[in-house]
Amino acid sequence: MGTLDGTVAMITGAARGLGRQHALCFAEAGADLVLVDLCADLNDTPYPLSSRQHLEDTATLCRRLGSEVLTRVADVRDQVSVDAAVAAGVEEFGRIDVLVNNAGLLGPGGRVTHELTEAEWTLVVDVNLTGAWRCCRAVLPQMVTLHGGSIVNIASTGALVAFERFSSYVASKHGLVGLTKALALEYGRHGIRVNAVCPSTIRSEQELDSRSTLGVASLLGSTLEEYESVSRNLHALPDLVNARQVAEASVWLAGRGAAGVTGTTVTVDAGFTARQIQTAFCSRSRKLRGRMSVHTVAMWARQSSLSPAKPVRFQPAGGSASASQIEYCSSSLMTTS
């Protein structure tokens, strides 16, 4: 018997990556599913977005686990589109017990704030923050009628600390945690719980067709391997978190085991925020303009107790670490769907 037997969960951004893993974990827990995704590309995003085939592939995997699944193409930037997806789910299953707001964008980004256009800023905030609000707005009336429900907002360690060159992402995720707390207060009297999950960098996984971590690496002029290596050294545990670890936290928050939990954040970050890394080091390093040697960077890593066995290493041509290569460690801990 699954922990979510008899429940219906709506998951946005469900076609691949973290969204697909959420769908699989909720299916394993016994939930029936309303899987929602845009299934189209947007201008200026740092990686291709999901297709309708990705969404149907996810649905097929969940059906094999025993779930009834409804798929809907919807744009969280459009309230009419979101309302239609929720209405279809209620018509199919009779209700929606759980909403997982997973749809999100990490960019346009990789640039300082004054270099962003208003359209680029608006796109990220409209998807990550206002899109989640629209989905909550659509499901909450029937949750109030049912006198219960659970909303899980997928935030980020970028909702708890700041990263350079991704101000729109950081602002939207901070706002999402604020929305989480406000909704928890407003709807607790109706038996509705609202929480957020804050992952750090999520390891790229081929079977989930993950793209976001590679997208961050590309924005910062790094390879996926280099980016994950640097990120790994900023965590207390020896490896990055994976999508299943994040999704299982959401399953727990959605279920009866978390019946007394609302208005809070569950941080799944392999100890990143516990280290309280001083990103000012990276900012100060810009003044050095490439004069720091690889040895110096590695020594800083060891002195900061990042990972004595795996010191941070940058290996540019000529054997010295450029300012941009050093500073990108301050922006290396974000995630999205």
The catalytic site residues sit at 169
Q: Are 129 and 177 in contact (CB under 8 A)?
A: no
| Nearest residue to 176 (alpha-carbon basis) of 15, 16, 337 | 337
Q: Helical H runs in the chain?
A: 17-28, 52-64, 79-93, 118-125, 131-146, 167-187, 212-219, 224-232, 243-254, 272-275, 280-285, 294-303, 323-327
Angle at 138 between CA 136 and CA 143, to 5 degrees: 75
Tokens 């290569």 belong to residue: 325
Contact at 8 Å (CB) between 129 and 169? no
Rounded to whole angstroms, the Cα distance separating 106 from 273 reads 19
Q: Are 196 and 159 in contact (CB under 8 A)?
A: yes
- Token couple for 324: 């941009």
CB 290 within 8 A of CB 320: yes
Neighbours of 145 (CB within 10 A): 11
Structural contact between residues 264 and 193, judged by C-beta atoms closer than 8 angstroms: no
